[in-house]
Amino acid sequence: MSTSNRSKKNGVNTVTISTPGAGAAAGSRTPTAQPSVPPILHLSDLPGPLSMNLLAELGTIHKLDETCAYWSEHANTLYGRASIMSAIAPFGTVACTRTAAWVWLGGGDFPDTIDVISTSHFRAAVAGRRIRVFKRLTLPEQIMKIGDLVITTPARTACDLVMAPENGPDPSVANTLVCQLMSAYEFRPNDCLQIIREHRHHKYAARAKEFFNAVQREINDSATERYA
């Protein structure tokens, strides 16, 4: 059984996932779980494109484009998804929004864009995906590190999803992701409202405040009916 521990280094929360091994019983240090193979498979690693297509048809890999893919098995765990994304996201960026949601939740298709918080511009696509940059204030307590990936916390990810531009994905999809994040990581609308207060000058802060207030009212009404 794997276990996860949180620590803080240089102001960034870090998640370490470890798996007991044979040496653990003898008192040795528990090794950190690492994928046994690189998270991204490149076409140059195979005899040719037919090999990649066959592996995709068998479900062993998920193709990102015609030149690279990720191992399906890695996408089944939080650490594995973080390893996949850290191999794709530009160095020195913070994974956010839909990209962060995929890492935290898994399931579904790989994001159509690589969403990151950064002050840089990235014109070249990576793994067939456009790098979508958000220049947003990010407080140290709102980011974490999973392996080599720096990522927004689940609560901050939920806020970013609600404060996404109007030309973003279907709002119902974002709302579903927010609810899944709240359920999986057990944070409440008030946690998000606190983050929004810290970003009250954001263009869509008012919309996000209204959304989380509505969710909180639903929770309060449900509790009232339960104990009535």
When pLDDT is cut at 50, 70 and 90, the band that residue 7 belongs to is low
pLDDT range class, residue 168, cuts 50, 70, 90: low
- pLDDT class for 44, splitting at 50, 70, 90? very high
pLDDT at 30 over 90: no
Give me 136's structure tokens: 């947003």
Cβ-based burial of 166 (10 A; exposed 0-12, middle 13-18, buried ≥19):
exposed
Tell me the C-alpha distance between 202 and 136, whole Å. 9
Euclidean distance between CA atoms 5 and 16, whole angstroms: 5
Q: What is the mean pLDDT of the chain?
A: 85
Q: What is the rounded distance in angstroms from the CA atom of residue 178 to the CA atom of residue 157? A: 8
Q: What is the pTM of this model?
A: 0.81
